[in-house]
Structure 1
Amino acid sequence: MGDDAPESGRAMSQQTAPHRARPEAAGSRTPARRSWMARIRRIPIAYKLSLVISGLIVGCIGLLTLLIVQHQHQLLQVQFDNLGNTLASQVARSTMEPLLAEDRLALEVLARNLVSDPQVEGIAILKPDGTVVVQAGLTPMDAFPGRDEAPANWQGFAWNYRDPRNAVRLDLVSYSQPVRVKQVVAGQVVLTLDRTSWNRAMHQAQVHIALAGILALCIGLLLTFYLGRRLSRPIHDLLDLGRAIHEGEYRKQPFSIRRQDELGDLMQTLNRFAEHLEHKDRIEEALARYLSPTLARELVKSEHRPRLGGERVEATVLFADIVGFTRLSEGMDPEAVANLLNRYFAHIARACQRNQGIVDKYIGDCAMLLFGVPHHREEHAFNAVCCALSIQALVERENEVRARAGQPPLRFRIGINSGEMLAGNIGAMERMEFTVLGEAVNLASRLSSASTPGEILVTEAFLQRPDVRGRVVAHPHGAIRLRGFSRPVSTWIIEGLTPEYVRTLEERTERLWWQSLRRTA
């Protein structure tokens, strides 16, 4: 509670601080770029694996398709060239005799018969000097009249022709073969073939190959995505278990180890790790029932063995003792006595924990609470006062319940004192306990014994502490003599807190009461 005022003060100072405009950094695009890089790095492993394998599949299928298309193109080209050279050679042999006999009519008949073939678009029979003897159909000499080429240079010449009648584009190839008579060149034959149908067939084959490649690519991508998800599933299971361990859910269903690879070993290791943490959590939970949760965590996390001894600290001790409990418990069963103590001590424990204290021990019908140990807190004395007032309010609520049930009420005598004391482990190496010792502790115990039922008794020096002065309402009780102290002690009775803290304390006590009702329901 004592931290509320400083926090509100800081909030006010932040609100009244003058507004300062922040200049934009020169490299404002750098954070955005880094953000994109971070998003790319956060892509799930399944997608990364799918992208990598998909890239390999695309590359392999694309390269394979390219090689097949090129090989098919070369194969068709070779076959077409073989066909053209074979036909040109046959025509050269057929024209040998008519050409030697200068039988022009026979040569024209031969040329017309050849041109009637759908694949043959033209033929030209030339003399050795290049003079055209007979010509029919489309020939490169007519298509390229300005090109002065030797007849032999038309061998394998590829060219295009667009028919003016139907605007059809023809892919043509001309082949040249000499007409030889006993090693003497008697002329030259230039045969032009139509390669359009061959190119169309090759294009269709390429389309089919590409479609087959795309189909294989799609199947490969689907299989890749499926395999990526399947391979990354155990990784997601590992992440879920790691997240559960981080959040303290050690009792999460462990892995069913079916794998015999590295992931299986990792799953088995994580299962053992989760079991170890669960065991450690159970130990800490069990210790917290006998010690304060703070001490239990310290013992579990400590890397050193506990040892006897302690250190001097500035802390606060609170003793809460039930008035007349011995007389009240006469005639009660031990179980009923234990239940009665447990019900009231539960209120004390919750009020102590809510006000940053620890329960040191229960001594019969008395509870000893510590504030400021084992971890020092600046407002340990004020926290003890708030705890005592909460205990009084909770006890009054509990007494109202007992009154409705026709049972007698219980009253507590509370004594609080602060000062220097020795905090540490007391006892033997075989059996020790954490507690505090010193004159300040003894004085708190004597104050509890000297107070009247329902009162909180403190010393005048306690009220002058910086964290208590001006925040507590109290009236003097007078100087009293206490056993074990030679001089009278000036004492005061705490009535409550100053108005600015009353509402917060009441709300806190109300929440503690409803928590106790839920736990006992």
Structure 2
Amino acid sequence: MSRSHNNGGVIRVHFTFLIHRVNDDSDSRLPDRNCQYVKFSGLKKPALSLAAQYAATISLLVFISMGALTFMMVYNQIEENDRYINDFGRIITRQLAAASVEPLFANRPLELEVLISNFHFDNHISGAGIYRHDGQLLASKGELPPVHDIDFSLPVQSTAIEEQLTSKFTPYSILHISPIEFKGVTAGNVVIVFSTDIMNADFEARLGYILLASLFLVMVVIMASIYLGKKLSHPISTLASAAESLQTGKLYEIKERRNDEIGQLINIINMLGADLLQKSQVENTLHRFLNKDVASKVMHQLDPVHMEGEHVHATVLFADIVGFTTISENLEPDQVQRLLNEYFDYLNACARFFFGNIDKFIGDCVMVVFGAPKEDPQHPYHAIACAELMQKLMKKLNERRRAEGLYTIELRVGINSGNMLAGLLGARERMEYTVVGDAVNLASRLCSEAESGEIVIEESLYKTVNPKYPMEVDSLKKIRVRGKKQPVNIYRVSHIQHAMPVATDDLIKDILEHNAY
């Protein structure tokens, strides 16, 4: 035990926590038990919220629409520019050709020079010229392409005037050609050059305005879509929060009322919350009469389909107060009640520390089950260790009672392990969760064979536990058990080596402190 006390400072904190957890009267429940009635698969936070999805979808649709609208506007602007240049060029070229008929046929070149000199150039015209039918230039003004680049048979054509790009549009000239004719005879051609540089600059300016306006509208729509997305997703977000709260066992009532499909979902969530609260209250009530694990198991088996029991391998411990009849005869009924409640509370603390569940109280006897309803691979060891703790606790308690001049209490304990039936058993009107079987009956018989302060086990249990957790035992005797052909060897356990050092004195002190009446 010296080694145990060396670790007592660390272990005691753990013990204190466990005792608090065992005797917590607030009926606080763990999250996994809170959500057992509502079949949620686990709600995960979405990578992208519904509001963001709404906003992104609306923004994308608007962006595509604005892009298509901008494209159509730009395309129409280009078409409009082309129509303007073609119409304007055709008219101006024909007017100049008509004015050049008489001077050209009369062979008056000076008049052609004057005509060209007086020709008004606007911002779109970069050059004009009058050519004879053989391609000889008679009069010109501004920039003209080389004569070999001009095809006089085409009324409208384009030709590059620079190789270097001066903007994002390639600079080129549009040539408008009109023949100089009189009575079916063509004497020459008028060529007017329209430069695209200025047109491109105007077009780029207009395009910039269009893009800025489109960008502004897109930003406005994005902001509006974010607001609209939050507005539209708010009911869904409220439902998600309510479902998440139900998953963690918290009652969440949605106050909003609607007359649409969302309203129907709100009503369903509110009804689920009310049902969860009601079932939680039922479970909390069951916790006052049943072990929490048993209560949870019972709540799971409320469906008639699951009312049948299950075969489990578990260990049963019976602890009986020796000479209780004599003690009770010398006490008032309220004193007997107080005495039993006090001792049962101590025994329950011992059982909970070693993962045991109080199955029932039978008069002055307590029945503890290890390994059911919650599976415990170490249930044989835990049962024997629990029994040893109970006996040591009784010795410590009796020391105090002797000092106070009160009756001492002695326990006898019987333990057995084996296959048994566990589940809701009883009549239709009244059922309880318990275990039954030959192994349970033998545990009760072993308790009857034990003397005051003894722990009695069966031989097979000893052989199961002893290799891993060595025990100090005495072979008692062989007993005959109803239903078994061969007698059963039983042992009295004096001590068991624990899986880890246990500060038993500190543990007992904690139990007595936190369960004192």
Task: State if a TM-score over 0.5 links the two structures.
Answer: yes
Residues 39-58 of structure 1 mapped to structure 2, 5 A cutoff: 42-58=47-63
How far off its partner does 1:155 sit? Answer: 2.7
Give the match's secondary structure for 2:413.
Answer: strand
> What residue number does 1:413 align with?
411
1:61 and 2:62 matched = no
**Per-residue displacement from partner, 1:301-350 (whole Å, max 9, x unpaired)?**
2343687999897753312326558647956673x654543333222123
Which residue of structure 2 lines up, in the alignment, with residue 284 of structure 1?
283
Deviating 4+ runs (over 6 angstroms): 305-314, 375-378, 400-404, 419-422, 437-440, 476-482, 488-491
Rounded to whole Å, the distance in 2 between the matches of 1:512 and 1:232 is 57
CA separation in 2, counterparts of 1:489 and 1:98? 144
**C-alpha displacement of 1:464:** 4.1
Determine the C-alpha separation between the residues in 1 that align with 2:396 and 2:268: 52
**Given residue 69 of structure 1, which amino acid in structure 2 is its aligned partner?**
V
Count the aligned residue pairs: 460
Structure-2 separation of matches of 1:312 and 1:136: 112
Pair 289,512 (structure 1): closer, same or farther in 2 beyond 3 Å: farther
1:472/1:496 contact within 8 Å kept:
yes
Q: How far off is 1:61 after superposition? A: 1.8
CA distance in 1, matches of 2:160, 2:437: 115
Distance in 2 (alpha carbons) for counterparts of 1:45 and 1:279: 32
Distance across 2 between alignment mates of 1:146 and 1:190: 13
CA deviation after TM superposition for structure 1 residue 207, in Å:
1.0
1:335-374 residue pairs with structure 2 within 5 A?
Answer: 338-371=337-370
Shift of 1:84: 1.9
TM-score (norm 2): 0.71
Alignment of 1:111-150 (within 5 A): 111-114=116-119, 119-139=124-144, 143-147=145-149, 149-150=151-152
Q: Kindly provide the CA deviation profile for residues 232-275 of structure 1, in whole angstroms up to 9, marking residues without a partner as x.
A: 555554444444444xx222423344455544433433343343
Aligned to 2:9: none
Paired-residue identity, %: 25
**CA 1:304–1:162 in 2, change beyond 3 Å: closer, same or farther?**
closer
**Distance of 2:53 and 2:312 partners within structure 1:** 59
Change (3 A) 1:119 1:418: closer
- TM-score, normalised by the number of residues in structure 1: 0.71
CA gap of 1:338–1:192, structure 2 versus 1, over 3 A, is same
User: In the TM superposition, what is the alpha-carbon distance from 1:87 to its structure 2 partner?
Assistant: 1.8
CA separation of 1:401 and 1:272: change in aligned 2, threshold 3 A: farther
Q: Report the equivalent of 1:218.
A: 219
Distance 1:69 1:92 in 2: 34
Kept after mapping to 2: 8 A contact 1:115/1:123 = no
Following TM superposition, by how much is the alpha carbon of 1:407 offset from its aligned partner in structure 2, in angstroms? 6.9
Whole-Å Cα distance in 1 between the matches of residues 160 and 309 of structure 2? 107
Q: Give the aligned residue type for 1:175.
A: H
Uncovered stretches (5+) of structure 2, i.e. residues with no partner: 1-45, 165-169, 482-486
The residue aligned with 2:96 is 91
Greater RCO between the two (CA within 8 Å, min separation 6)? 2
Q: Structure 1 unaligned segments of length 5 or more: list them.
A: 1-40, 164-168, 483-487
Structure 1 partner of 2:108: 103
Indicate if the aligned counterparts of 1:478 and 1:492 stay in contact, CA closer than 8 A. yes
CA shift in 2, pair 1:201/1:518, >3 Å: farther
| Shift in CA distance, 200/511, structure 1 to aligned 2, threshold 3 Å | farther
User: Do the aligned residues in 1 keep the contact of 2:286 with 2:295 (CA within 8 Å)?
Assistant: yes
Contact 1:308 1:427 in 2 (8 A): no
Output the CA distance in 1 between the equivalents of 2:228 and 2:63. 17
Q: SS of the counterpart of 1:178? A: strand
Determine the C-alpha separation between the residues in 1 that align with 2:479 and 2:269: 64
| 3-state DSSP of counterpart to 1:146 | helix
Which amino acid counterpart does residue 149 of structure 1 have in structure 2? Answer: D
Residues 126 and 134 in structure 1, CA contact (< 8 A), matched pair in contact too: yes
Residue deviations 1:124-155 (CA, integer Å, cap 9, x gap): 2233444433223222xxx22433632x4253
* CA drift at 1:75: 0.7
Superposition deviation, residue 204 in structure 1? 0.3
Task: Give 1:18's aligned residue.
Answer: none
1:512–1:287 distance in 2 versus 1, CA, 3 Å: farther
How far apart are 1:64 and its partner, in Å?
1.5
- Provide the rounded CA distance (Å) in 2 between the counterparts of 1:435 and 1:194: 102
SS, match of residue 118 in structure 2: helix
Query: Given that residues 283 and 299 in structure 2 are in contact (C-alpha distance below 8 angstroms), is that contact kept between their aligned partners in structure 1?
Result: yes
Cα offset for 1:48? Answer: 4.7
Residue of structure 2 equivalent to 1:382: 381
Tell me the equivalent position of 1:496: 495
